[in-house]
């Protein structure tokens, strides 16, 4: 298994060297950046498993970088630890609200930093594993294998039907009309009629429901659209 890649972003070369040395000793693949622009350029070109981010950087504030990372589909789930000299509670709160997973103040213990990195990585890994599998009633949805199990039986569901079901399940309680479902599931596909949604819903119900005429999972809000009950 390839080594986890960590980006260290700090404008103090001594800090970068200290952190990089300790991370490499633990077997991590380490890159570094001395300012925000350099950091974002490296993040755009490469894929990192973890980012250690200084708050007070020249040119671009660490919180702004964190906000950019969290708003980008490629990096929104990459764990981030803020590393900064500022220890006031308000700064920690702002950093965490921007999406940082943890917060350490300088001076710091390299051993504590390593321990926190491993803890955050473990939490992120557990969260990723949980997000790939959704359980609802008797059904188990695996987003990685594009499969739905009913008990131990794998259902015969097309890719489009799978995407439609996941879209509704992940937004339980919200009612969608046909046009909204076309936009969310079919996206930019041309020549898809609104009634196509009804056809796929019917097919889904024949697979996932005990009684398709009296559905438990995908319900109809008469005159509006379809939804999965929040309590399902």
DSSP assignments along 123-134, one per residue:
HHHHHHHHHHEE
The answer, yes or no, to whether residue 133 has pLDDT greater than 90, is no
Overall average pLDDT of the 23-42 stretch: 96
Take residue 125 and report the two structure tokens written for it.
């890994």
Overall average pLDDT of the 121-149 stretch: 86
Rounded to two decimals, what is the model's pTM?
Answer: 0.60
Q: Determine the Cα–Cα distance for residues 98 and 6; give it in Å rounded to an integer.
A: 20
Residue 23 C-beta-side C-alpha neighbours within 13 Å: 24
Q: Which helix (H) or strand (E) holds 8?
A: strand 5-9
Task: Quick: pLDDT tens for 148-206.
Answer: 999 999 999 999 999 999 999 999 999 999 999 999 999 766 567 888 999 999 999 99
Q: What is the pLDDT of residue 29?
A: 97
Q: What is the pLDDT of residue 130?
A: 62
Q: Report domain 5-130's class.
A: alpha beta
The structural domains of the chain, with segments of one domain joined by +, span 5-130, 137-228
User: Which numeric CATH code is attached to 137-228?
Assistant: 1.10.10.10
Task: Quick: pLDDT tens for 75-123.
Answer: 988 999 998 887 666 777 777 888 899 989 888 999 999 999 999 998 8
Contact indicator for 161, 200 with CB cutoff of 8 Å: yes
The mean pLDDT of the chain is 91
């Amino acid at each position: 298994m390839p080594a986890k890649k960590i980006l260290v972003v700090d404008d103090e070369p001594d800090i970068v060297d200290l952190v990089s040395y300790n991370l490499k000793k633990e077997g991590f693949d380490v890159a570094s950046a001395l300012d925000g622009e350099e950091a974002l350029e490296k993040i755009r070109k490469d894929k990192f498993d973890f980012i250690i981010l200084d708050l007070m950087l020249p040119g671009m504030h660490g919180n702004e970088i964190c906000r950019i990372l969290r708003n980008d589909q490629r990096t929104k789930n990459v764990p981030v630890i803020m590393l900064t000299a500022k220890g006031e509670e308000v700064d920690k709160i702002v950093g965490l609200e921007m999406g940082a997973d943890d917060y350490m103040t300088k001076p710091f213990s390299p051993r504590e930093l390593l321990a926190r990195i491993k803890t955050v990585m473990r939490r992120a890994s557990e969260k990723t594993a949980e997000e790939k599998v959704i359980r609802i009633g008797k059904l188990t949805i695996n987003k990685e294998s594009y499969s739905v199990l009913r008990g131990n039986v794998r259902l015969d569901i097309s890719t489009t039907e799978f995407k439609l079901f996941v879209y509704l399940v992940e937004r339980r309680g919200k009612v969608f009309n046909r046009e909204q479902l076309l936009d969310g599931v079919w996206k930019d596909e041309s020549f898809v009629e609104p009634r196509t949604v009804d056809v796929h819903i019917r097919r889904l119900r024949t697979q996932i429901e005990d009684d398709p005429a009296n559905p438990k999972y995908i319900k109809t809000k008469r005159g509006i659209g379809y939804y999965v009950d929040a309590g399902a």
